[in-house]
Amino acid sequence: MLKKIRYYLRILPSIQKRLAEIEESLTYLKQSVGRVENRQTSKHTSTSLKNSEFKVYSQWGEDGIIQALLQSVQIEKKTFIEFGVQDYRESNTRFLLVNNNWSGLVIDGGEHYINFIKKDPIYWRYNIKAVKAFINVGNINDLILKNGMEGEIGILSVDIDGNDYWVWEAIDVVSPAIVISEYNSRFGPEKAVTVPYSQDFVRSEVHYSMIYYGASLKALCLLAERKNYAFVGCNSAGNNAFFVRKDLKPSHLPELTAEEGYVAGQFRESRNKQGDLSFLSMKEEMEILESLPLVEVS
């Protein structure tokens, strides 16, 4: 037994090296497939963002939607900010980083996530900065400024599973051409509501169900209007909304109302008190949300 252990310890480095090589090959393959998808979708102009979807690093089809928007929206500053990225292996801006060679800032509250990103080969291959911070209304502008971002940027992606509405409302030191914000489709297309602001909001701690977070699509659309952005559509999964600054929006890209562009989410992520997936129906989810405080916005 001892001889076997020594043998496996001896060959372990070579196994790890080979696994790293395989992972790098798979990464390259994913990027190549994404570029093929991009060439195919760019041949067909469409006013529906959902028709442009493809996934390389995004959770759903956001990679394709972003590439389609880049075909339409003139962006001078090829920079992005994304927060709530975890280890950044699944994100809205990673394909933008490696395919379009943009630069960017990513922020997450988990130190282990940020350490992982800094050890990832993308951290030296591309111009990206990863910062550990728990984002709130009081610190978001300082975080952006301290990390070299100000004024015009290309894309802002907001996904913090809680104070999304309040944080986007507070940001005033950058002017993104495109904003991507997560919305909670359970609130429907007509209610303009968000969870109350709490500086230390953590989705898993506020309510065991994991469905009490964020804002409705209509609340985000009203906020976008105040910030001079046009709502141009959602992804087909029903959790991310896309906004284009009105002075940059091309005429062929229609501005939608929340009711016109709303997409209901089909994924089932609710949990029971033990932390297990509970697969609740929409009606059962609504019963939970109706018992919890919400803020109406205008």
Domains (ranges, CATH) in the chain? 45-296 (3.40.50.150)
* Cβ atoms of 17 and 202 closer than 8 Å: no
Distance between CA atoms of residues 25 and 230, nearest Å: 39
pLDDT in tens, 21-62: 466 546 545 544 654 555 555 554 456 788 899 999 999 999
pLDDT the model gives residue 266: 87
* Cβ atoms of 156 and 84 closer than 8 Å: no
pLDDT in tens, 66-100: 999 999 999 999 999 999 999 999 999 999 999 99
pLDDT in tens, 176-208: 999 999 999 999 999 999 999 999 999 999 999
Distance between CA atoms of residues 294 and 258, nearest Å: 19
* Cβ atoms of 253 and 47 closer than 8 Å: yes
Residue recorded with tokens 């490696």: 98
Which ranges constitute the DSSP H helices of 227-281?
258-261
pLDDT the model gives residue 40: 57
Share of the chain above pLDDT 70, in %: 84
Q: How many CA atoms lie within 13 A of 281 on its CB side?
A: 2
> What secondary structure, in 3-state letters, does 185-212 show?
HHHCCCCCEECCCCCCCCHHHHCCCCCC
- pTM assigned to the model: 0.87
